[in-house]
């Protein structure tokens, strides 16, 4: 087995940043999950994608939001932006059963603890960052943000809520799989210095007076109309679902108060080469050393598994894979899969069999 140094993981503390000889960071990612440097954990994928661009990236996993907010201050302000994700699951699904009872453990937290993330971390983390650093852009991603980008029914509060952009105050939301939009976002930011609001697979909020629609846009019923008539919300959902089945989707917009939520159409599916590149990044495939001696249930489940493709045409009501990854299938190459299998066989506790060949992973910022 390869011997890893602390600097083989993306830095999570000021000391780890200094060990790399950095005095400034380009991007700081905040995640509701523990940091596992593995291609099945979104923050690791996005961090490694940005690292591959030559950017200086750090991850702050499960920051403490209840004290003096030192976790949000310890690395200062990044040069480009903060990235925020609630984690690989919607935080409420992660915390509660369908009967609204507390789950036996949080699978993405060391030792399964329940107290390491707030409810709706996308909103909580973003509001804290915008208060501390109002001039630094915050980019939202992850399943929690992705599936709440427009008016949605919140099962946990039994009410219809507006776009998470209005409640969080984030500058931009990346929906779906984040590799392509986050890569192009950084290229545009480095070149132009401002957030590009024409970027595919993103959503943003703008004032009604400044929004100009085109004849090809799809207008949804406003948030206020959905509050008054649940059938209008159901029609909105149908339109969103239909657009997600199209190779070339329309731009969608929805009014909420004096603002408009604009959802740009997604990128085409990744090519096999792009998908291979995402999986072939220099992951350690291990939890960060800070968790030594602690069990992370989700890692125990995935560490001897291999993701072989993206997307799902099924659209099952109980599953978000097709909603988040898209309905078009993209397969990894045989070479990329076998390279990962070889890395698994070299792990010290490998028992000689793969537990799964999976299709699911969640790389969002």
pLDDT digits (tens, 9 = 90+) for 262-287: 999 999 999 999 999 999 999 999 99
At residue 2, the pLDDT reads: 74
At residue 364, the pLDDT reads: 47
User: Which residue did the predictor score with more confidence, 112 or 316?
Assistant: 112
At residue 321, the pLDDT reads: 84
Distance CA 115, CA 361 (A): 24
Percent of the chain with pLDDT over 90: 84
| pLDDT reading at 143 higher than 50 | yes
| pLDDT reading at 340 higher than 90 | yes
Helices (H), the chain: 14-19, 42-52, 70-73, 91-95, 121-132, 143-146, 164-168, 179-192, 223-228, 230-244, 272-279, 297-302, 321-325, 334-345
Q: Which of 98, 86, 27 is nearest to 61 (CA)?
A: 86
Kind of pairing, strands 202-207 and 172-174? Answer: antiparallel
* pLDDT band for position 361 (cuts 50, 70, 90): very low
Phi, psi of 22 (to 5 degrees): -95, 145
Phi, psi of 357 (to 5 degrees): -115, 105
* pLDDT band for position 358 (cuts 50, 70, 90): low
At residue 94, the pLDDT reads: 92
Distance CA 171, CA 134 (A): 10
CA angle 325, 112, 83 (to 5 degrees): 45
Which burial class, exposed, middle or buried, applies to 214 when counting CB atoms under 10 A from its CB (0-12, 13-18, 19+)?
exposed
At residue 247, the pLDDT reads: 86
Decide if 365 contacts 29 (C-beta within 8 A): yes
| pLDDT reading at 90 higher than 90 | yes
> How large is the average pLDDT for residues 74-99?
95
Q: What is the DSSP letter of 102?
A: B
Positive or negative, the CA dihedral 189, 191, 192, 196 is negative
At residue 359, the pLDDT reads: 54
Positive or negative, the CA dihedral 219, 175, 69, 54 is negative
3-state SS assignment for residue 177:
coil
Distance CA 149, CA 244 (A): 14
């Amino acid at each position: 087995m390869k011997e890893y140094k602390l600097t083989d993981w993306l830095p999570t503390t000021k000391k780890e940043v200094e060990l790399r000889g950095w005095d400034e960071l380009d991007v700081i990612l905040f995640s509701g999950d523990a940091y596992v440097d593995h291609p099945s954990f979104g923050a690791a994928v996005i961090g490694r994608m940005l690292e591959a661009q030559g950017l200086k990236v750090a991850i702050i996993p499960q920051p403490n939001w209840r004290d003096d907010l030192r976790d949000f201050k310890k690395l200062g302000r990044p040069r480009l932006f903060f990235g925020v994700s609630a984690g690989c699951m919607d935080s409420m699904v992660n915390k509660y059963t369908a009967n609204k009872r507390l789950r036996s453990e949080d699978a993405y937290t060391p030792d399964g603890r329940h107290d390491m993330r707030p409810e709706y971390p996308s909103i909580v983390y973003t509001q804290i960052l915008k208060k501390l650093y109002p001039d630094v852009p915050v980019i939202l991603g992850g399943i929690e943000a992705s599936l709440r980008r427009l008016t949605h029914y919140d099962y946990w509060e039994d009410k219809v809520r507006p776009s998470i952009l209005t409640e969080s105050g984030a500058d931009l939301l990346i929906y779906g799989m984040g590799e392509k939009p986050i890569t192009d976002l950084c290229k545009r930011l480095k070149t132009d210095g401002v957030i590009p609001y024409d970027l595919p697979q993103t959503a943003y909020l703008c004032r009604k007076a400044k929004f100009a629609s085109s004849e090809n846009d799809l207008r949804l019923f406003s948030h206020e109309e959905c509050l008054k008539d649940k059938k209008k919300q159901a029609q909105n959902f149908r339109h969103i679902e239909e657009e997600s089945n199209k190779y070339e989707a329309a731009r969608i917009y929805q009014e909420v108060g004096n603002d408009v939520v604009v959802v740009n159409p997604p990128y085409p599916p990744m090519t096999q080469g792009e998908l291979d590149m995402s999986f072939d990044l220099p992951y350690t495939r291990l939890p960060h050393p800070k968790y030594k001696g602690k069990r992370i249930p989700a890692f125990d489940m995935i560490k001897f598994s291999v993701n072989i493709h993206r997307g799902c045409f099924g659209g099952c009501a109980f599953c978000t894979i097709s909603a988040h990854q898209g309905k078009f299938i993209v397969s990894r190459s045989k070479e990329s899969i076998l390279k990962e299998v070889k890395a698994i066989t070299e792990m010290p506790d490998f028992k000689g069999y793969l537990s799964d060949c999976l299709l699911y992973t969640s790389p969002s910022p």
